[in-house]
Structure 1
Amino acid sequence: MTRATLLTITSPTGTPEPGDPGYVVADFAAPQVRITDLSVTRGDGVFETIAVIAGHPQALEPHLARLAHSAALLDLPAPAVDVWREAVRAGVADYLTRNGGADAELFAKLIYTRGVEGEGRPSGWLFVDAGEDFSQARLGIRVVTLDRGLRHDVAETSPWLLAGAKTLSYAVNRAAQREAVRRGADDVLFVSSDGYALEGPTSNVVTLTDGVVRTPNTDQGILAGTTQAAVFDFFTARGLRTEFAPLTLDEVVASDALWLVSSVRQAAPVTHLDGREYPVDAALTADLNAYLLARTE
């Protein structure tokens, strides 16, 4: 029997009627998606995954803002943020009630699609479940670089490619992660065809060089990272300078330390990049992950 909670978002874009919250708890084990929904036939939709730590959805507002941004890039109607916000809270509460309290780490996944083909009405779902055990990844991961096959300025030159949108079309991201495993690694850092470091399939890259913490500019078709923002807050509080910058692969390779950071895994220090070994400051990374996991907003 699954422990997950599922909600159908009945008013994903509009204001529901008085007394109607705009969502209902559904049977996770029952069929929910029509085969003609464009999420199934075209991958036409967006999503967000939110870490839920000790019952608190982390960075809820930035995630909702990013959902709306992704929707805008796909020309989807603006999501009803108030409905989605309360649905997240209701889904977490339902999960905790049915499962007798908080697991250490959960996640909430929001799915917003163009809907059933021909109906002109978006679809929405949200589910809450227990997360993976990322304790080993937070000690260190091996990473390989893969060419994304696009220039770093693709978001400006070719906005129709949807670089920077968190879409349901994740086949390439999954293929890249399988390629990493074939190469004896755990994860991937995408590189542009003109030599700039970009992001991982599900993460942002953060570098530390000569006391300066950097991440690539998001105007390069990179998904703005909610966890990356918190990582910058952590290092700023420690007196380090943080900045967004275009980073060539050579600059990343020359870094003193590297992390791939994401909402559920949090901060994973890179031990090897394309076979090159990097030292891991275990105490610093432990403090960083403790800070990330302690967030209540």
Structure 2
Amino acid sequence: MALSFALVIDPAASDDLRTDFSDSFRVIDTAAPALSVGELSTQRGDGIFESIGVVDRHPQELIAHLDRLAHSAQLCALPVPNREQWRQAVFAAAEHCPARGEGVIKLILSRGIEHGPTPTAWVTAGAAPDNTRVREQGIRVVTLDRGYSIDTPARAPWLLLGAKTLSYAVNMAAIREAKQRGADDAIFVSSDGFVLEAPTATLVLKEDGRYVTPAPNGGILHGTTQLGLFEHLGSLGDETAYETIRAERLATAEAAWLLSSVRLAVPIVAIDDVELPVDHELTASFNRFLLSPRA
């Protein structure tokens, strides 16, 4: 993402009883130094983030993203972001995304400087990469062992497995491993054989005419794009479900997709070298919906 805009948020201002938070933002030069060397986001990955897709300067699924940011903050014992302050920051940033086309806004909340008075928070905006090819042609994926069982998050909440943290080294390593195996992306599987999620996306399967996604437990992030798509499918009369999915079901799906805020709906053409059917017309209809303005 080529950054075109960035602003720093003063989280302390969120305690004020006000409706206009514009004076709690400070625009910064995207090419200039902005963080202290003591910043814990860079030293330890100690913080959380959200990536919001933007279409024609409209932030997509903003409510769901702000809900997930607040959930991550609670899991990480960070101050819960003031929803209205961050909403105003998002709309300020959206004005610097492409007027026509797709953009990306990132929200970052860090623990800040060790022993500092407040966390550090900032928002960036820029044009999104062109994902036309993968939306149309699809991707090959491999399954990778996530290294924990399906019940680990409930037994060890300090692992923060349900939070969208800045510590994405494992996620990026998984994508590199997938590419070394001749694939484009990965699907994490628990050590006891249950499907989880992709490193940066949510999995959706079509089985017997219904749409299924792994239940958002077991350390799975609840996908904002998947939520929007399921609401849309429900309005069309299609059946959707959250289920605990055994890995063996992947090879028998009628179709499968990875959903994320920036790539949107990307069809999976093969899992572990097992070819899957691809419904190009259905995928195109998903992406037409996902590219429409959505709250």
> What does residue 138 of structure 1 align with?
135
TM superposition shift of 1:188:
0.5
**1:13 CA drift (Å):** 6.6
Structure 2 distance, partners of 1:109, 1:3, is: 10
Superposed displacement of residue 191, structure 1: 0.2
> TM-score normalized by structure 2?
0.95
Conservation of the 8 A alpha-carbon contact between 2:12 and 2:118: no
| Structure 1 range deviating more: 101-110 or 280-289 | 101-110
Q: Which sections of structure 2, spanning at least 5 residues, go unmatched?
A: none
The corresponding residue for 1:87 is 89
1:233 maps to which of 231, 238, 243: 231
> Corresponding residue for 1:59?
61
1:283–1:37 Cα change, 3 Å = same
Given that 2:110 and 2:121 are in contact with CA atoms closer than 8 Å, whether structure 1 keeps it comes out as yes
**d(CA) in 1 for partners of 2:163 and 2:13?**
18
Shift of 1:257: 0.7
Change (3 A) 1:37 1:273: same
Deviation, 1:237, is 2.9
> Quick check: 1:112 aligned with 2:109?
yes
Q: Distance in 2 between matches of 1:221 and 1:102?
A: 36
**CA distance, structure 2, for counterparts of residue 118 and residue 15 of structure 1:** 20
Q: What's the CA shift for 1:253? A: 2.1
1:8 maps to amino acid: V
Paired residue for 1:29, among 31, 34, 39? 31
For 1:210 and 1:10, locate their aligned partners in 2 and report how far apart those are by CA, in whole Å.
50
Per the alignment, residue 123 of structure 1 pairs with 120
Q: Cα gap change, 1:12/1:199 in structure 2, threshold over 3 Å: closer, same or farther?
A: farther
1:62/1:226 contact within 8 Å kept = yes
Partner in structure 2 of residue 75 of structure 1:
77
Inter-CA distance 20–152: structure 2 relative to 1 (3 Å threshold): closer
Q: How many residues align?
A: 291
Counterparts of 1:275 and 1:217, CA distance in 2: 25
- Kindly provide the CA deviation profile for residues 160-198 of structure 1, in whole angstroms up to 9, marking residues without a partner as x: 111110000000000000111111111110000000000
CA distance in 1, matches of 2:219, 2:16: 34
Identity among equivalent pairs (%): 45
* Matching residue's letter, 1:138: R
Q: Which residue of 1 aligns with 2:49?
A: 47
Q: Which whole-Å CA distance do the structure 2 matches of 1:180 and 1:13 have between them?
A: 43
Query: Any conservation in 2 of the 1:103–1:130 contact (CA below 8 Å)?
Result: no
Say what the alpha-carbon RMSD is for the aligned residues: 1.5
Q: Aligned partners of 2:140, 2:12: CA distance in 1, in Å?
A: 39
Alignment partners' CA distance in 1, 2:179 and 2:155? 32
Q: For each residue in 1:68-127, what CA deviation from the matched residue of structure 2 results, as whole angstroms up to 9, or x when unmatched?
A: 10010001111122111100101112x15xxxx514000100000001011141000100
2:6 alignment partner, SS class:
strand
Q: Secondary structure, in 3 states, of the residue corresponding to 1:206?
A: strand
| 1-structure distance, mates of 2:70, 2:260 | 19
- For structure 1, which segment, 68-77 or 238-247, has the greater mean C-alpha deviation from structure 2 after superposition? 238-247
**1:186-265, aligned counterparts within 5 Å?**
186-265=184-263
Change in 2 beyond 3 A, CA 1:3/1:173: closer
The one-letter amino acid paired with 1:136 is R
CA distance in 2, matches of 1:133, 1:284: 20
* d(CA) in 2 for partners of 1:286, 1:67: 29
Whole-angstrom CA distance in 1 between matches of 2:45 and 2:227? 28
- Give 5+ residue unaligned stretches, structure 1: none
Moved more, 25-34 or 6-15: 6-15
Q: How does 1:1-20 map to 2 (within 5 A)?
A: 4-11=4-11, 14-16=14-16
Deviation of 1:295 (Å)? 2.8
Cα drift, residue 235 of structure 1 = 2.2
Cα offsets for 1:17-42 (capped at 9, x unmatched): 86752212111111111111110111
Structure 1 position 15, deviation (Å): 3.1
Higher mean displacement: 228-237 or 84-93:
228-237
| Aligned mates of 1:24, 1:17 — CA distance in 2 | 20
Cα separation, 2, equivalents of 1:134 and 1:265: 6
- Native 8 Å contact 1:12 1:80 kept in 2: no
TM-score w.r.t. length of structure 1: 0.94
Counterpart of 1:190, as a letter, is F
